[in-house]
Amino acid sequence: MSLIYSNHPPLKTASETYHSAFTDLLEKSDSIKIASGYISSDALIDLKSIVEANGGPHVELNIGMHYFEGLSKQQAEAVHDLDKMLRSMDLGGIYFVVTFPFHGKIISFKSKGDVIGGLVGSSNLTNIVDGRVSRQYEVDYRLPDGDLQELDSFIEKLNKTTTRAFEEIDVKVVESKNTLLDEQYGVSKTDDQLTKSVQANPDFEYEFRIPLKTDDATRSNLNTFNGKGRENKQGFVMPRSWYEVELIVPKNITTQPGYPQSDKHGDGGVINVITDDGWSFSCKVSGDFSKNLRSDNDLKILGKWLKGRLEHAGALKAGELCSQETLDKYGRSDFTLAKLKDQDLWYLDFGVDES
């Protein structure tokens, strides 16, 4: 029984995170019922990976708002893939509330028929993702034993009286840009004039082309998600997030004059970046010869920027390995990392010629 806070500075507390509470209960469960107003593609991809890696739990997911507001292309693909996998394994399915917009955020956890935990609060399903931090500050509650059965019964009634299975309905897909970094903690939109100024007058002090490794890196670089997940003593596996990315940059690039460097211990050197599509965040270099390049604090930020572009262009489907074919379809196998002259700022360009 406890309150759960987002813990963004300066309002830090000693509470557990939503992700840690969700994971603790999930590892003990053989069945979960979820009712969430909104979902995100990365949350559904991670949930699919968890079920595949562990052969469970049984998942009933009720989505409350998207029948009325629509799904992005990325969300629609993630819903389809998770629902198909759950039904093929006889481990549940996805349902949409169609009677009215449902904005609640509740999860019930069961083991051997008994309700063992519940979460209620302001966090949508998005916050189950490991390390994902929204700029919004959320407050949630881990229910005491006395309220657990009531919560489980409510979700069951919601499912039976207000929803229809995803496979029975058509949910509109709305046109959208790459929105994966919206509301991501540590990421902000850049000033449009700054981005346009850099693009119109690319005055760089240093410029490097960072190659994207794929076919020879099926468990690293763009495919870091495919590496070994975390396994607890009971054998429950928590896979790595699909959007995690940590690039290994060749020594012949990192030893060139001007390339950002880690310190003598191989620890991270942090740089501030802006992107060609208008985002701002921090990256870091680390390791021997400053070979590792990633987003600072959260591996998924750089991953969402790169993979989101590939997804939006139709070159990559969420949850799949990135290959050379993926990059060929997108039209580019590297991105530009350039230091703006007389500024403590770097520019990332992953644009392609659409002519």
Question: Domain for residue 6, yes or no?
Answer: yes
Q: How confident is the model at residue 183 (pLDDT cuts 50, 70, 90)?
A: confident
Domain of residue 50 covers 2-168
Structural domain ending residue among the three candidates 168, 200, 222 = 168
Per-residue pLDDT reduced to its tens digit, 303-312: 999 999 999 8
221: left (phi over 0), alpha (psi -120 to 50) or beta: left
Residues 143, 8: one domain? yes
Residues 194, 227: one domain? yes
Residues 163, 278: one domain? no
- If one compares 264 and 246, the residue with the highest pLDDT of the two is 246
Average pLDDT over residues 322-348: 95
Name the pTM for this structure: 0.83
Question: Domain for residue 180, yes or no?
Answer: no
Per-residue pLDDT reduced to its tens digit, 25-78: 999 999 999 999 999 888 999 999 999 999 999 999 999 999 999 998 889 999
Please, are residues 164 and 26 in contact by the beta-carbon 8 Å criterion? no
Residues 121, 246: one domain? no
Show Cβ contacts of residue 35 under 8 Å, excluding neighbours closer than 6 positions.
Answer: 62, 64, 97, 102, 104, 105, 106, 107, 155, 158, 159
Residues 86, 228: one domain? no
Does position 342 have pLDDT exceeding 70, yes or no? yes
Residues 214, 308: one domain? yes
Question: Domain for residue 75, yes or no?
Answer: yes
Please, are residues 338 and 347 in contact by the beta-carbon 8 Å criterion? yes
pLDDT at 134: 58
Looking at the 3D structure of the chain, how many domains does it have?
2
Residues 203, 98: one domain? no
- Secondary structure, 3-state, the chain: CEEEECCCCCCCCCCCCHHHHHHHHHCCCCEEEEEECCCCHHHHHHHHHHHHHHCCCEEEEEECCHHHHCECHHHHHHHHHHHHHHHHCCCEEEEEECCCCCCCEEEEEEECCEEEEEEEECCCHHHHCCCCCECCCCEEEECCHHHHHHHHHHHHHHHHHHEEEHHHCCCCECCCCCCCCCCECCCEECCHHHHHHHHHCCCEEEEEEEECCCCCCCCCECCHHHCCCEECCCCCEECCCCCCCEEECCHHHHCCCCCCCCCCCCCCEEEEEEECCCEEEEEEEECHHHCEEEECCCHHHHHHHHHHHHHHCCCCCCCCCCCHHHHHHHCCCEEEEEEECCCCCEEEECCCCCC
Residues 236, 328: one domain? yes
Per-residue pLDDT reduced to its tens digit, 96-119: 999 999 999 999 999 999 999 999
Per-residue pLDDT reduced to its tens digit, 137-172: 888 999 988 889 999 999 999 999 999 999 999 999
pLDDT at 347: 96
Least confident of 181-185, 280-284, 292-296, 341-345: 181-185
Question: Domain for residue 176, yes or no?
Answer: no
Question: Domain for residue 354, yes or no?
Answer: no
Does position 133 have pLDDT exceeding 60, yes or no? no
Residues 192, 161: one domain? no
Please, are residues 134 and 6 in contact by the beta-carbon 8 Å criterion? yes
Question: Domain for residue 297, yes or no?
Answer: yes
pLDDT at 328: 96
Question: Domain for residue 177, yes or no?
Answer: no
Does position 232 have pLDDT exceeding 90, yes or no? no
Please, are residues 91 and 51 in contact by the beta-carbon 8 Å criterion? yes
Question: Domain for residue 115, yes or no?
Answer: yes
Name the average pLDDT for the chain.
90
Does position 265 have pLDDT exceeding 70, yes or no? no
Average pLDDT over residues 204-223: 94
pLDDT at 126: 77
Residues 99, 15: one domain? yes
